[in-house]
Amino acid sequence: MGSLTACRPRLVAAAALALALPAFAATPALADVSGFYKGKTITGIIGYPPGGGYDLYMRVLSHHMGRHIPGNPNIVPRNMPGAGSLVSANYIYNTAPKDGSVIGAFASSTLFSVKLGETRGKFEIDKFTWLGNLDQTVGTCTVWHTSGIKSFDELMTREAIFGASGPTAVNSTHARGFNALFGTRIKVINGYPSSTSALLAMKRGEVQGGCGFALSSLKATRAQEWASGDLRVIIQTGYEKNDKELKGVPHIYDYAKSEADKQVMHLIYGTHILGRPISAPPNLPADRARALRDAFNAMVKDPKFLAEADKLKLPIEPWTGEKVDEVIRQFAAYPKDVYARTIKILEVGDVVNVKLKTVEGKVTAVKKTNLTVAGADGKAVKLKVHAKQTRATIGGKKASATDIKVGMSCAFEYFGAGDLAPKATCK
């Protein structure tokens, strides 16, 4: 991977090879795996909150992969958000049982963040058990239609505020990379828990745009906003340019000033080709690792799986686990000086976090996780709570946010209208 041009044929060849996924004959070892999995439940860790692309892909996988595993275990999704999916990556690598009962999905940008200087990542990128990759993602950066921003070039001459989840997350690193490489004037506000929350902040006018919106997510979970033109794509990121669905939208490599810039850009943006990788912890028993990989390979050819993915407008361009291993090794083999320059470019500096709003008053309506609160000024405020993402106390005692009832007097810290409240204190 000495240069973008040099490595492109190998990665394109990888995509072609993935179309011919191997079929493995049953062996006594795999037959024995059914004894472990029969009656078991596999946990499917999702590195982001509900509602985004990773969440949707893992939930579709959970409906289908189990029947291709000997013993037919159930797969139950579990959201574990935090630090742009770094929390889930650390959990899968260090804490999750290494017996084949846990699999997960987290961002490729998080995977490579360790080699790019992230000290909170407690894993080695080539030691995960990779089961496969569901899609070779095209990334985008977008703005809301009321932002006044019509093109990427405008960001060279005017300041814009973009929302991000955290300094290591792709929605932060991509924007900061633009500033260093192209001279854009993007101010990144961190702390939004998900792309959904960042999008709500765009709609409220708190931020003007954001990166990290995969094309697959625009088609599946943001289809209405994208089709209407309210959510505007101003730049493509990732490995390949998409002239079919993003016609007229420039690609980051159009702005490269040198071959050296392309190498750095490939590390920051090119890893997006590992769009929806599915992993398991390291050091799994070999027969269970083989069974999980075989099940993934069988699932991505399963008509029922493909039909559900198509219904939800989720692109499926799979790679085998072996191919994921190979591509990760290629990226990891980049020269040290390229990594050093990339680390310099992505230096975080001062982190600016979103300032939470506050409201205190009586809860007047509860509909599942959606609450309405009558503030001291009499105005109704709508917000959301979450059993795991909202720290709640009721009467001075720790409680679940789902225990909040109509009539309670509460103080909430929340991101904005209709958005998550990370803290609730009720009487």
* Highest averaged pLDDT of the listed ranges 28-42, 298-312, 326-340: 298-312
User: Cα 35 to the chain's mean position, in Å?
Assistant: 34
The pLDDT value given to residue 371: 97
State the residue for tokens 């939208």. 249
pLDDT digits (tens, 9 = 90+) for 227-238: 999 999 999 998
Asked if pLDDT for residue 244 goes beyond 60, the answer is: yes
Non-local CB neighbours of 299 within 8 Å, separated by 6+ positions: 61, 64, 65, 68, 305
* Assigned CATH topology for domain 357-426: OB fold (Dihydrolipoamide Acetyltransferase, E2P) (2.40.50)
Region class of 204: left (phi > 0), else alpha (psi between -120 and 50), else beta: alpha
The pLDDT value given to residue 29: 56
Asked if pLDDT for residue 8 goes beyond 60, the answer is: no
Tokens read off for 356: 């939470």
Asked if pLDDT for residue 264 goes beyond 50, the answer is: yes
Tokens read off for 57: 């892909």
3-state helix, strand, coil in the chain (%, to 5): 40, 25, 35
Asked if pLDDT for residue 113 goes beyond 90, the answer is: no
Mean pLDDT of 396-422: 96
CATH 3.90.650.10 fits 138-263, yes or no: no
| Neighbour-count burial of 223, counting CB atoms closer than 10 A to its CB (0-12 exposed, 13-18 middle, 19+ buried) | middle
Q: Measuring CA to CA, how many Å separate 3 from each of 9, 260, 355?
A: 11, 8, 41
Domain range 4-135+271-340, CATH class:
alpha beta
| Other C-beta atoms lying within 10 Å of the C-beta of residue 323 | 20
Contact call for residues 174 and 141 (beta carbons, < 8 A): yes
Which stretch of 98-107, 166-175, 273-282, 296-305 has the lowest confidence by average pLDDT?
Answer: 166-175
pLDDT digits (tens, 9 = 90+) for 127-159: 999 999 999 888 899 999 999 999 999 999 999
The residues with which 79 forms a beta bridge, in sequence order, are 46
The pLDDT value given to residue 333: 87
pLDDT digits (tens, 9 = 90+) for 266-281: 889 988 788 899 999 9
Among candidates 246, 182, 259, which has minimal Cα distance to 174? 182
Q: Measuring CA to CA, how many Å separate 111 from each of 103, 118, 265, 273, 411?
A: 15, 10, 16, 13, 37
Per-domain residue ranges of the chain? 4-135+271-340, 138-263, 357-426
Asked if pLDDT for residue 189 goes beyond 60, the answer is: yes
The pLDDT value given to residue 4: 39
- Residue type present at position 306: L
Q: 3-class DSSP state for residue 265?
A: helix
Same fold, 4-135+271-340 and 357-426: no
In this structure, the strands spanning 397-399 and 277-280 are: unpaired
Higher-pLDDT residue of 369 and 13 is: 369
Beta strands in 86-216 (DSSP E): 102-105, 129-133, 138-144, 160-163, 186-189, 209-214
pLDDT digits (tens, 9 = 90+) for 54-84: 999 999 999 999 999 999 999 999 999 988 8
The residues with which 138 forms a beta bridge, in sequence order, are 238
| Neighbour-count burial of 425, counting CB atoms closer than 10 A to its CB (0-12 exposed, 13-18 middle, 19+ buried) | middle
